[in-house]
Amino acid sequence: MHAHDPAQAFAPHDHATCAAEALARAEEICAETGARLTPVRRRALEILLETHKAMGAYDVLDRLAEDGFGHQPPVAYRALDFLVDQGLVHRIQRLNAFTACTHPGGHKHAPVFLICEHCHVVAEAPGRSVQDSLERAAGEIGFAIERAHVEALGLCPACRETDA
């Protein structure tokens, strides 16, 4: 599986490479924009990149604390807020949790999240057509969308078979 296939998160893949590429890409993006990927921020991103499951802010915080960073909530929230602002991490509203973006920098990408209720992996699907429908529906009634969150709960391909 190519590293940029949609929903790679649901398929077996070379995760070390997957994470390393995302991290490298994150560094490029920050370098380009002048944003500072400081140690806490970078570490927070690494932690999120370890898994395709979404992590709560306090889980990230615990990990950061283990690594010698502060152990108060703002430490995690500030790092996460920064990463979300840079588009390197997404917040999954449904779970009050965060997941690293697998293909950051994608030209204003409007992600659609698929959340497996069985294995808890979160994948980003190509959301262009969904966002287009959304824009159209909103446009018809004169609503101007600034940003949209699309999150679907269900079963990923692997868990469908397991459960069935």
Partner DNA sequence: CCGGTTTTGGTGATATTATAACATCACCCT
Partner DNA sequence: AGGGTGATGTTATAATATCACCAAAACCGG
Write down the least CB distance from residue 157 to a second copy, Å: 4
Closer residue to DNA (CB): 7 or 40: 40
Q: Cα separation of 107 and 118, whole Å?
A: 31
Q: How many residues does the chain have?
A: 164
Q: 35 pairs with which residues across the strands?
A: none
Q: Of 17-25, 73-81, 106-114, 156-164, which segment contacts DNA by CB under 7 A? A: 73-81
Write down the least CB distance from residue 85 to DNA, Å: 10
Long-range pairs for 11-18: beta carbons < 8 A, 24 or more residues apart: 11/157, 18/49, 18/102
Q: 99 pairs with which residues across the strands?
A: 90
Closer residue to a second copy (CB): 37 or 98: 98
Residues 88-117, interacting with DNA (CB under 7 A): 96-97
Task: Look up residue 147 and give its two tokens.
Answer: 């940003």
Q: Of 4-12, 20-28, 69-77, 153-161, which segment contacts DNA by CB under 7 A? A: 69-77
